[in-house]
C-alpha cells in the first residue's frame, strides 16, 4: 500500500467506531468467496433448551455419526484437521449460545467449511455454566445433518473447554472433488 492509499484509507476510516461485543464471534481463517446474508434463520432454529441431561465433566465430549470411521474421529481429536473458523460461546447465556451456534453452523455449511472450533469454556463442577453449555452442545451438535464428528480440542486450542467439529463436504465441494478426480483418471 503506497502513501496515497494509506492517506485515503485513514480518511475513510476516521469516523469509524468499534463494534460493541456481540453474542458470538466468527473468525474465518480464509474468507469465503462471497458473503450472502442469511435472512432471519432463527425462525427455523430447531435447537431446544428445556430439560437437559447434564454431561459429567468426567465424560469426554465426543460423537461420531453413523457410517463415520473411527480414524476420522481420531484425526480430529489429534488436531490433524485444522479449524477453519471459531465460535466463542464464553460468558453467553444458553439462549445466546443456541442462537449463535445455529447461525454459525448454517454459515459454516454454506461456506463449505469442513472443520470448526467451538469454545464453550471449562467448568469446575458439573453444575457450572460452562458445563451446562457443554451439555447442550452434546445435545445440539448431532442434530445438524452436516456434523460428522466432534470431540474435545487439543490443549493449545482450548482443551476440554472447546471442541473440534468435523463437517460433511457441501454439494459444491463434492462436485469439485468429482471433477478433480475425473481429470486424473483420463
118, 162 contact by CB (below 8 A) = yes
The predicted-structure confidence for 155-180, as pLDDT tens digits, reads as follows 999 999 999 999 998 777 778 878 88
- Helices (H) then strands (E): counts for the chain: 5, 6
Q: Which residue has the higher pLDDT, 84 or 7?
A: 84
CB within 8 A of 103, min separation 6: which ones? Answer: 24, 38, 41, 42
Residue 138 three-state SS? helix
Domain parsing of the chain, residue ranges? 54-184
The more confidently predicted of residues 13 and 179 is 179
**Band of pLDDT at residue 36, cut at 50, 70 and 90:** very low
**Whole-angstrom Cα distance, residue 81 to residue 164?**
9
CATH of domain 54-184: 3.30.1370.110
Taking the C-alpha atoms of residue 145 and residue 121, their distance in angstroms, rounded to an integer, is 25
Amino acid at each position: 500500500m503506497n502513501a496515497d492509499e494509506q492517506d485515503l484509507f485513514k480518511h475513510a476510516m476516521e469516523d469509524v467506531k468499534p463494534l460493541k461485543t456481540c453474542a458470538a464471534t466468527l473468525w474465518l481463517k480464509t474468507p469465503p468467496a462471497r458473503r450472502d446474508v442469511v435472512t432471519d434463520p432463527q425462525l427455523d432454529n430447531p435447537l431446544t433448551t428445556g430439560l437437559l441431561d447434564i454431561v459429567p465433566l468426567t465424560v469426554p465430549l465426543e460423537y461420531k455419526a453413523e457410517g463415520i470411521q473411527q480414524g476420522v474421529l481420531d484425526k480430529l481429536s489429534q488436531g490433524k484437521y485444522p479449524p477453519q473458523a471459531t465460535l466463542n460461546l464464553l460468558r453467553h447465556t444458553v439462549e445466546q449460545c443456541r442462537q449463535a451456534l445455529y447461525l454459525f453452523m448454517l454459515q459454516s455449511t454454506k461456506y463449505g467449511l469442513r472443520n470448526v472450533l467451538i469454545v464453550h469454556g471449562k467448568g469446575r463442577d458439573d453444575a457450572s455454566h460452562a458445563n451446562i453449555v457443554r451439555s447442550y452442545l452434546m445435545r445440539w451438535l448431532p442434530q445438524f445433518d452436516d456434523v460428522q464428528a466432534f470431540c474435545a480440542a487439543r490443549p493449545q486450542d482450548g482443551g476440554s473447554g472447546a471442541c473440534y467439529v468435523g463437517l460433511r463436504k457441501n454439494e459444491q465441494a463434492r462436485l469439485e472433488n468429482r471433477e478433480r478426480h475425473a481429470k486424473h483418471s483420463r
